[in-house]
Amino acid sequence: MTDILSIGRSGLAASKKSLEVAGHNISNANTEGYSRQRVRQTSGIPLIKDGMIASTGTRILGTERIDAGLLEKRLQSSLSENEYQKERLNQLEQVEHIFNESGVDGLNKIINRFFNSFRELANQPENETIRSVVRDSARMITKDFRRIRGTLDSLAYNIDKKLEHEIVNINQSLNQIAKLNQKIRSLEAIGGESGDLRDQRDIALKSLSEYFQITTYLDNRNNFVVNAEGVGTLVSATEVQELAFRGQDKDSSSNGMSGSVEIYFKNRPASHISEKFQNGRITSLLTARNSDIQRLQKEVDEIAFNLTKGVNAIHSRGHAFKHTIQIEGEDPNKNTGILFFKDLSNGENAGNEIALSSDVENDLTNIVTALEPNNPGDNRIALAISKLESAKILANGTATFEEQYLKSIGNIGLQTGKARLDTEQSQGLLAQTKSLKERITGVSIDEEAANMIKFQQAYEASAKVLKAADDMFQVVLGIKR
Amino acid sequence: MTRVSENSNKAALNFAVGKAKERLEDLQIKGTSLKRVTKPSDDPLSNVEALAIGSTSISNRQFLRNSDHALLQLNTTEQALDQLSDILLKAKDIALQQSSDFYDVATRRNVANEIIQLKNQMLSIANKKIGNRHIFAGFDTLKHPFNIEGDYFGDDGKIKVEASKDFFVQINLNGREVFFADDNKPNQNINSIEFQRTLASETPDKEFHKRENLFGLLKMLTNGLENGDSNLIQDLLEKFDDAQSRIITLRTRVGSIVNSIMTTRAQLESENVDLETHKSKLIDADIAEIFSDITKQQQVLKTTYQSGQAILNQSLLDFLR
């Protein structure tokens, strides 16, 4: 008879535990990264007593966390991919913005205006006012080159800052994972439930996959290992290999700018591992800095350098006309060889260094139109400079200034457009994976509600069993009276 | 049966709403700017092509300005040539009247004064200016190209402007072409040269044959009148005709340049219209299409909201009382 009591009691306990877990699930329905749990329950081991098999009620094996396993890994790699594309789009959109000419006057229009100002000067080479128009439009050019080049530089600089920031975050994540490994291990050693800690570790792994692609596995000594794909082990159980960053000087930097940041293993500063990372924000930032932005910096420099070189080559051949009285025997070639732009020794950093020559900056009459000395009406130099607009002198003599510049813009447009499509696509994939995973591990309130009713009723029924046993006891006890 | 959890439900709804809103926002930007391409990545090829068209049409506008300028100078030159030919006609009339011995010396002296006046008129034409530019001075435009003696101080500079892309037109005639017939330096002793020519008339020398100096002609006429030399005057008649026909040739040249500029202008203007049309096709939005798309997208968003409401606001618990 006591069997009945203990069977009833086991049912009562099991139902109570199940209700508890259902409650836990419901309360965590909106918890980030929570995987639903359920009670693992089995029937009691039957005993043989007095030659008969006696049932022993129900037994709770423990709570179990519904694990999505492979899906979780797929989610991590989708996250890496998505973060890579998102960051790429973010960076490229900023770059694109520099070159966006719809609505505002960009470099293309400004260069065009510069050449047209020389055409206007060719109309009236005697006119001082037009010279000042020419100088203003040339100033606009130098200003816009510096704007473009400067903004590109600061984008690259911001990427460096961002990388430094991310490395700190990455190290935090790594340490958090190691700590969770420790906790999970000690909890499981005493047979505790580690489901909620595993949820937290999954969250930490997911935030780590936003930075770069990772793989995780249990090694043969049951250590939980986190690998950065292409780089190596970062966490093995409780051991952490932290990352470090260091700014490079100009010569050893990978984008030709001093202070650009590279990533190292902490305490192993021999060679940097920046390029080895795959996917994720880190790779995206490095790609934008080392390839996209750097290429544009070079292209802008090339245009700026060739513009100054081309204009100077023609301008210095002419003779300035001065309204001073010519002194007998004075060298008429004195007013020649004047540079229009400041002479740049080479193309490096030309976009930042482009400026008017001090001659032109100080004196408008130093803007030359005449090929021969003392010819105020001679406009051949001005005409020749305006002809530079259609001269194919860039990209080994295959492109005009405009064509080359538009090629850069077109390229950026294509890249950004592609990044946008890729981002959309990877976002779709990510959402799909997330929802697949959530379908398996997420909490359904409807389901839990149904479960609650089920367990409540089971609880009531188990209580009825106890009541029945009690009644039976009463009957037996009543015989004596 | 696929299991549906709260979070998968919510994520699906978020994704759908986000997608619909993103499209609507994109359409809204296009609707407000009325541009199909607002940044290079919207359509890289069209964007680049539109930019190239933009600078072509700005350059075309500059070419139109250039040709305005050229026309101003060419028309002034033509007027000057017209006045020159008037002066030559008057001088020739006078020469014709005075070529016989009909008039007496006193009359001829008076007439000579008239010729001197004509010569002064001619000088003012020769030193004609547009703004501060002397049109007959070649490149040396800031000085008077002719002095009172008719000596030329300008040069042979050919001022050209770009009337359309890579099409350069000369917009000036230099003083030497107009007032002297050959490329020799202006000779101070015009009289003697002219004299030599008459002496050498039996042996026609092409160089000499072509030579007449407009100032020199008037000066010789004055001399002839003052000296009563009717032979000289008769001799001059033919040269006035030569000079006249040369001026007419120059006028024809100017006229043909003006014509070619006018043709170019017409081409540029129609090209600009074509370019703008093309550019608009490349980057402007089809308004009707955009607004019908917006309406459609708004409907999509509304439906998404409604379906969300049905899912989010209800659960089994609502029915367990």
Q: What is the pLDDT of residues A254-284, one digit of tens each?
A: 777 777 888 989 888 778 888 889 899 999 9
- Mutation for A interface: B1, B5, B134, most A CBs within 10 A: B5
Question: Is residue B205 predicted with pLDDT exceeding 80?
Answer: no
In terms of Cα–Cα distance, which of A240, A97, A244 is closest to A179? A240
For B62, which residue in chain A has the nearest alpha carbon? A116
Which among A29, A96, A109 has the least Cβ separation from residue B39? A96
Look up tokens 């001799």; give the residue: B235
Q: How far apart are CA A122 and CA B169, in angstroms?
A: 12
Nearest to B40 among A112, A413, A439 (CB): A413
Q: Give the start-to-end residue ranges of the domains of chain A.
A: 2-66+444-480, 73-429
Residue B208's pLDDT band, with cuts at 50, 70 and 90, is very low
Q: Which residue has the higher pLDDT, A346 or A39?
A: A39
Note whether A377 contacts B: Cβ–Cβ < 8 A.
yes
**pLDDT at residue A326, rounded to an integer:** 61
Is beta strand B129-130 parallel, antiparallel or unpaired with respect to A261-265? unpaired
Q: Is the pLDDT of residue A333 over 80?
A: no
Which pLDDT score is estimated for B207? 40
Average pLDDT, integer, range A442-453: 90
pLDDT of residue A480: 75
Percentage of the residues of chain A whose pLDDT score is greater than 70: 97
% of chain B with per-residue pLDDT over 90: 31
A460-470 mean pLDDT = 92
In which band, very low, low, confident or very high, does the pLDDT at A323 lie, cut at 50, 70 and 90?
low
Q: Take residue A126 and report the two structure tokens written for it.
A: 């005697």
* B236-294 confidence digits (pLDDT tens): 888 888 888 889 999 999 999 999 999 999 999 999 999 999 999 998 888 898 889 99
Contact check, Cβ <8 Å, A375/B155: yes
Confidence at residue B321, expressed as pLDDT on a 0 to 100 scale: 66
Nearest CA in chain A to B41: A413
Q: What angle do CA B210, B99, B123 make, to 5 degrees?
A: 55
Output the pLDDT for position A143. 93
What mean pLDDT do residues A152-165 have? 93
- Sign of the dihedral defined by the CA atoms of residues A6, A7, A12, A13, in that order: positive
Q: Which of residues 419-438 of A touch B (CB under 8 A)?
A: 420, 431, 434-436, 438
**A401 neighbors A307 (Cβ within 8 angstroms):** yes
CB of A374 within 8 Å of a chain B CB? The answer is yes
Average pLDDT in the A62-67 region? 86
Q: Is the pLDDT of residue B78 over 90?
A: yes
B208-240 per-residue burial string, b: 16 or more CB within 10 A, e: under 16: beebbbbbbbbbbbbbbbbebebebbebbeebb
Structure confidence at residue B313 as a pLDDT band (50, 70, 90): confident
Nearest CB partner across the interface for B2, out of A109, A415, A439: A439
List the beta bridge partners of residue A268: A265
- Predicted pLDDT at A181: 93
Q: Is the dihedral of CA A322, A341, B69, A392 positive or negative?
A: positive
Contacts of A370 in chain B (CB under 8 A): 139
Please answer whether residues B253 and B126 qualify as being in contact, where contact means their C-beta atoms are separated by less than 8 angstroms. Answer: no
Model confidence band, residue B199 (pLDDT cutoffs 50, 70, 90): very low
- Is the confidence at residue A287, as pLDDT, over 70? yes
Q: What is the mean pLDDT of residues B12-22?
A: 87
- Which range (A327-336, A382-391, B309-318) has the least confidence? A327-336
Residues of chain B in contact with residue A30, where contact means CB-CB under 8 angstroms, are 6-7
Q: Do A376 and B159 touch (CB under 8 A)?
A: no
- Termini Cα distance of chain B: 27
B62 contacts A120? CB cut-off 8 A = yes
pLDDT for B202: 38
Percent of chain A with pLDDT over 90: 50
Beta-ladder partners of A262: A246
ipTM score assigned to the predicted complex: 0.80
A17/B contact by beta carbon, under 8 A: no
Instruction: Express each pLDDT in B91-133 by its tens digit.
Output: 998 888 887 777 777 888 888 888 889 999 999 999 998 888 8
> For residue B203, is pLDDT > 90?
no
